[in-house]
């Protein structure tokens, strides 16, 4: 029997996600224009999310993250071993030359759980980066490549489609930026639950090789620890 999707739940999640992706509180009319949905429906969903504590609102009735979101965030971090396991591992990448990142894919965007620049500590990089277009990120390109269906045709009119094809073939993604920065990324698990990456400005070929080798070593360590955690939980 085919699964029947609940469009009401999907719509509510989309509204919540759009509010949380905004850099400042947003009103219902602006949100309805962005989502191309009827204002009355958006207003009703916002009201429900506010009542349940997932959203807060300003005096001008503009919405932003409520306490319920922080509870969900804490629960997800507690329930998922990803961040807890990955943090000590990706610290091995940190030096005064490398930026380090851990991200998950959300539709056509990447959400950075960690994005630490060379001058930052790993802890300072937690939740510090906004949601970003996946096709402009090596981590996003890697995750898009891993989610690419077998037999699906590449559309080279789309941005960085050639990079997605290369990542699919190579098992890692590489993006070269105009200012000389090179970014590398590898997936975590199969199917992928996240990606880790690192970027260096004006790197030597030796630096790139060392970084890719280290990324693959860290990837393997994370995958082993996640599998061990899953097996431990299955026994409880």
66: in domain: yes
215: in domain: yes
226 falls in which pLDDT band (50, 70, 90)? very high
The closest of 232, 217, 199, 213 to 129, measured between CA atoms, is 199
Last residue of a domain, one of 31, 50, 70: 70
Same domain, 119 and 225: yes
96: in domain: yes
Q: Cis (ω within 30 of 0) for the bond into 191?
A: yes
Average pLDDT over residues 15-23: 91
The closest of 133, 73, 59 to 103, measured between CA atoms, is 133
Handedness of CA 58, 61, 62, 63 (dihedral sign): positive
Same domain, 105 and 56: no
Same domain, 65 and 85: no
Q: Structure tokens of 84?
A: 């807890």
DSSP assignment of 24-51: S-B-HHHHHHHHT--HHHHHHHHHHHHH
Same domain, 50 and 121: no
88: in domain: yes
2: in domain: no
Query: Residue 57's domain is classified under what CATH number?
Result: 1.10.10.10
Mean of pLDDT over the chain: 91
State the pTM of this model.
0.83
Average pLDDT over residues 134-145: 95
143: in domain: yes
Percentage of residues in the chain having pLDDT higher than 90 = 67
Average pLDDT over residues 124-144: 91
103: in domain: yes
Same domain, 150 and 34: no
Determine the pLDDT at residue 160.
86
Same domain, 104 and 193: yes
pLDDT digits (tens, 9 = 90+) for 40-80: 999 999 999 999 999 999 999 999 999 999 999 888 888 88
Last residue of a domain, one of 45, 70, 95: 70
Instruction: Judge whether residue 157 has pLDDT over 80.
Output: no
Determine the pLDDT at residue 23.
86
Burial call 165-194: b when 16+ CB within 10 Å, e when fewer: eebbeeebbbbeeeeeebbbbbbbeeebbb
Q: Domain limits at 44?
A: 7-70
153 falls in which pLDDT band (50, 70, 90)? low
| Distance separating alpha carbons of residues 180 and 187, to the nearest angstrom | 24
Give the number of domains in the chain. 2
220: in domain: yes
| Distance separating alpha carbons of residues 103 and 116, to the nearest angstrom | 12
Determine the pLDDT at residue 152.
61
Determine the pLDDT at residue 158.
78
pLDDT digits (tens, 9 = 90+) for 176-193: 998 899 999 999 999 999
Under 8 Å between Cβ of 225 and 80: no
């Amino acid at each position: 029997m085919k699964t029947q999707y609940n469009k009401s739940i999907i719509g509510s999640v989309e509204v919540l996600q759009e509010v949380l992706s905004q850099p400042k509180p947003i009103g219902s009319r602006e949100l309805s224009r962005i989502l191309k949905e009827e204002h009355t429906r958006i207003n009703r969903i916002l009201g429900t999310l506010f009542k349940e504590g997932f959203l807060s609102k300003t005096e001008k009735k503009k919405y932003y993250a409520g306490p319920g979101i922080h509870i969900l965030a804490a629960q997800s971090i507690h329930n998922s071993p990803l961040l807890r396991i990955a943090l000590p591992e990706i610290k091995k990448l940190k030096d005064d030359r490398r930026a380090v990142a851990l991200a998950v894919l959300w539709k056509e965007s990447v959400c950075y759980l960690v994005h630490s620049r060379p001058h930052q500590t790993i802890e300072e990089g937690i939740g510090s980066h906004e949601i970003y277009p996946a096709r402009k990120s090596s981590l996003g390109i890697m995750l898009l490549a891993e989610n690419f269906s077998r037999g699906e045709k590449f559309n080279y009119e789309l941005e960085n489609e050639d990079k997605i094809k290369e990542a699919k073939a190579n098992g890692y993604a590489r993006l070269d930026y105009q200012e000389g920065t090179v970014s590398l990324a590898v997936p975590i698990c199969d199917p992928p639950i996240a990606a880790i990456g690192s970027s260096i400005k004006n790197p030597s070929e030796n630096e790139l090789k060392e970084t890719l080798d280290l990324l693959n070593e860290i990837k393997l360590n994370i995958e082993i620890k996640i599998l061990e955690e899953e097996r431990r939980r299955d026994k409880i």
